[in-house]
A and B are shown apart, each in its own frame.
Chain A
Amino acid sequence: MRVAIHNQLPVRLAGIILLMGFVAVPIVSELKRRAVERIVLQQAEVQAATATVAVVEGLQDVLSSVETSVRFLARDLEDRELSAEGVDRIIRNTIAGNPNVSDCSISFEPYALSPAIERFGRYANRSDTRPATRDLAAPDYRYWTRGWYGDAVGKGELAWSEPFFDNGGANTTVVRASAPFFRMIGGKRVLAGVIAAGFDLAWVKELTGENEFFDTGYVIIFSHAGRLIAHPNPAYVFAETMESLAQKVNDPELAIIHQRVLARRQGSVSYMSNVFHQRVHENYKPARFGGWGVVVGYDEAEFLRQIGALRWITMLSLAGTLALLSGIVLLATQIALRPLRRLTAVSDEIGQGNLDCEIRPPARDDEIGRLSRSFLVMRDALKKNRLLERKVQEDAADLAAANERLSIENLERCWINQALEHQLRYDRLIVNSINDLVFVLTKTMNISRINPAVVHLSGWELQELVNSPLSRVVRLDGDGRGGGVSRTDPLAQALREGRDLRDQPAILEDRSGHSSPVRLTLFPLRDGDKVVGGVAVVTTASAISSSIQNTP
């Protein structure tokens, strides 16, 4: 029997593998994508964290050098002999000695430089052609009214300003570190003035430019108050703070980052940015100086795009593997099942009754080999069984025929018996229906049978007369009474000669000994040509008279 191709085991196995593959491939692919995505994003975060550290370190290098210069000057001015020219020289040397310092100023408390000078303050910046020529005490500036001066005096320690445009000075946006300095006057250490040094924020652009990473990476730097110092969107720089921008674009994460940096915490956050209109991952870290913070962010989609491609590659490779595996399964099962197909064909033959089909002896001892051996055993057993069945059928048919013959024979016997019984009964009926006395005699004239009329008329019973001589009951008239058969007995003589003796006068003696005249007729009984006995019919006188009366 030919099996439809879709029902063939190899095709079904291959189909199952492919079907399972179509279910499993997307699942495996998705799991793998998620794992890779996690790994890639972790690596991106590590790189972003590294970049954050690099930016912070670069920023700290600049801020610390400026702060260090201010602190150094503050200590140096405590003991030094000062003059107006000396102050100018110190300022110029500071700018010349520290490339990060873009401007420098030294301003004194009233009469702190000289009892003759109430207010004295000098300022120089890197772009000035004539450094230290500016007088901060001039009426158009009046340094003691400025915030940077008041803050430093008020705090009594170094303070960083917020970024501001140094209008009339360097004419650029700067931040400035201001620190009070003290001098021994009259044996007392008293506040003598404020030293300030600034640095040009244009340098921040260089710093962020040096740390570009990824395709979508960006750097945000903000001040202690959250003022944006560096941002990918120049419109926000100096114009917005972290809080104002968070409120403006509805990105509360920006304000949160600022708060955490103020708390000296570092970390990362992922969110859907309304500034960049994409999902971003941002690492943030506070700088050790100035209370500044650095944010390094990137677009997560940049990395996920690569993963998307990887997903397709994975799916295609898995699908290819599945197709190859299905082919291998198809081929392997075709080869492995070849003997099984032969056995299937054999079982079909056996099923159709052909027990003489060829079954190859198993060439191997695996499961299929054992199955082949079982088929051989089964086929041989079926053959034996079939022979047995045929023999049983033949025997059963013989038995049925014999049984039928026996039944018929039995019926035949029964039929013969009943026929004989019927005939005998009929014969008796005939004899018994005769009203005359009938005696059936042997050749020696002994009685062998009588009819009921004998019993009725003579009073003798059958058992009393059987085997008795007829002469015990009836004798010819004139014949003497004797026990045996007389050689001169005319009845015996007639019987020996095989002739009838009709209507002879005779004497009937009944059981009570009473004698009465009767007429006797004797017929010899012939079997073919032999006389085997005789029948004596005795008619009583009453019967004779009745017969005479009935004769018309």
Chain B
Amino acid sequence: MKKHILIVDDEADVRDLLDRFLTLQGYRITAVPSAIEALRAVAGDPPNLVISDLQLEDSDGLDMIEQLKVRLPDTPMMLLTGVFFDPQVVRDTLSRKVACYLQKTSPLAQILAEVRRLVGV
């Protein structure tokens, strides 16, 4: 069975590109623009991985991840954002909240490698 990935990003282009790329790689994708829709989506179809932006229209990505973790305590969360964090911040703060942090300038191959590391092929 294909692994299910939930993508949360308010930018349609980002959602669309990630959807197409990861579908090509054999994953089943659900892509939503907001935290509310993400919470609604996981209720009916729990994902194997959540990839979220930091800045959402209706919420902060990290806050949403905190809420999702309540429902999906064993599901890895990936933060994919255009905001640059200092490596010290990433190491000391973000690593406690998310399984992986990647900048949006990271190449897709790197994103794929992280996805595979977290949920397998």
Would you give the shortest CB distance from B31 to chain A, in whole angstroms?
14
Given A408-B24, A422-B82, A426-B82, decide whether A414 and B105 contact each other with a Cβ distance below 8 A: no
Given A422-B11, A423-B82, A426-B82, decide whether A411 and B105 contact each other with a Cβ distance below 8 A: no
Binds A, one of B12-20, B37-45, B61-69, B70-78: B12-20
Task: Report the bound CA distance from A261 to B24 in whole Å.
Answer: 120
Decide if B107 is an interface residue (CB 8 Å cutoff): yes
**A411 contacts B107, CB within 8 Å?**
no
**A419 contacts B24, CB within 8 Å?**
no
Decide if B21 is an interface residue (CB 8 Å cutoff): yes
Q: Which of B13, B103, B109 meets A412, CB within 8 Å?
A: B109
Task: Report the bound CA distance from A300 to B21 in whole Å.
Answer: 108
Decide if A35 is an interface residue (CB 8 Å cutoff): no
Q: List the A side residues contacting B83 at CB < 8 Å.
A: 426
Q: Which of A404-438 contact B (CB under 8 A)?
A: 404, 407-408, 411-412, 414-416, 418-420, 422-423, 426
Instruction: Kindly supply a per-residue 1/0 record for chain B positions 33-68, scoring 1 wherever the CB is within 8 Å of any chain A CB and 0 otherwise.
Output: 000000000000000000000000000000000000
**B13 contacts A407, CB within 8 Å?**
no
Q: Which of B14, B20, B21, B105 meets A423, CB within 8 Å?
A: B105
Given A412-B108, A423-B105, decide whether A418 and B13 contact each other with a Cβ distance below 8 A: yes
Task: Report the bound CA distance from A404 to B106 in whole Å.
Answer: 20
**A415 contacts B11, CB within 8 Å?**
no
Q: List the A side residues contacting B109 at CB < 8 Å.
A: 412
Given A414-B17, A415-B17, decide whether A422 and B104 contact each other with a Cβ distance below 8 A: yes
Q: Which of A404, A408, A420, A422 meets B108, CB within 8 Å?
A: A408
Would you give the shortest CB distance from B107 to chain A, in whole angstroms?
6
**A419 contacts B21, CB within 8 Å?**
no
Task: Report the bound CA distance from A187 to B107 in whole Å.
Answer: 176
Q: Is the interface of A mostly helix, strand, loop or mixed?
A: helix
Task: Report the bound CA distance from A415 to B107 in whole Å.
Answer: 7
Task: Report the bound CA distance from A416 to B103 in whole Å.
Answer: 11
Q: List the A side residues contacting B24 at CB < 8 Å.
A: 404, 407-408, 411
Task: Report the bound CA distance from A415 to B15 in whole Å.
Answer: 10
**A419 contacts B20, CB within 8 Å?**
no
**A411 contacts B82, CB within 8 Å?**
no
Q: List the B side residues contacting A418 at CB < 8 Å.
A: 11, 13-14, 17, 104
Q: List the A side residues contacting B103 at CB < 8 Å.
A: 419
Q: List the B side residues contacting A408 at CB < 8 Å.
A: 21, 24, 108
Task: Report the bound CA distance from A248 to B18 in whole Å.
Answer: 125
Task: Report the bound CA distance from A411 to B24 in whole Å.
Answer: 10
Q: List the A side residues contacting B104 at CB < 8 Å.
A: 418-419, 422-423
Task: Report the bound CA distance from A518 to B17 in whole Å.
Answer: 47
Q: List the B side residues contacting A422 at CB < 8 Å.
A: 11, 14, 82, 104
Give the one of B21, B83, B107 with max A CB within 10 A.
B21
Q: List the B side residues contacting A426 at CB < 8 Å.
A: 82-83
Task: Report the bound CA distance from A408 to B106 in whole Å.
Answer: 15
Given A404-B24, A407-B24, A408-B24, decide whether A415 and B82 contact each other with a Cβ distance below 8 A: no
Task: Report the bound CA distance from A415 to B22 in whole Å.
Answer: 13
Task: Report the bound CA distance from A18 to B107 in whole Å.
Answer: 85
**B11 contacts A411, CB within 8 Å?**
no
**A411 contacts B13, CB within 8 Å?**
no
Q: List the A side residues contacting B105 at CB < 8 Å.
A: 416, 419-420, 423
Q: List the A side residues contacting B108 at CB < 8 Å.
A: 408, 411-412, 415
Task: Report the bound CA distance from A407 to B72 in whole Å.
Answer: 33
Q: List the B side residues contacting A420 at CB < 8 Å.
A: 105
Chain A to chain B contacts (Cβ below 8 Å), 17 pairs: A407-B20, A407-B24, A408-B24, A411-B21, A411-B108, A412-B107, A414-B13, A414-B17, A415-B17, A415-B108, A416-B105, A418-B11, A418-B13, A418-B14, A422-B11, A422-B14, A422-B104
Give the 6 A-B residue pairs with the shortest CB-CB distance, closest first. A419-B105, A419-B104, A422-B82, A411-B21, A412-B108, A415-B108
* Additional pairs, 17, CB under 8 Å, beyond known A411-B17, A422-B11, A423-B104: A407-B20, A408-B21, A411-B20, A411-B21, A415-B17, A415-B21, A415-B107, A416-B107, A418-B11, A418-B13, A418-B17, A418-B104, A419-B82, A420-B105, A422-B82, A423-B82, A426-B83
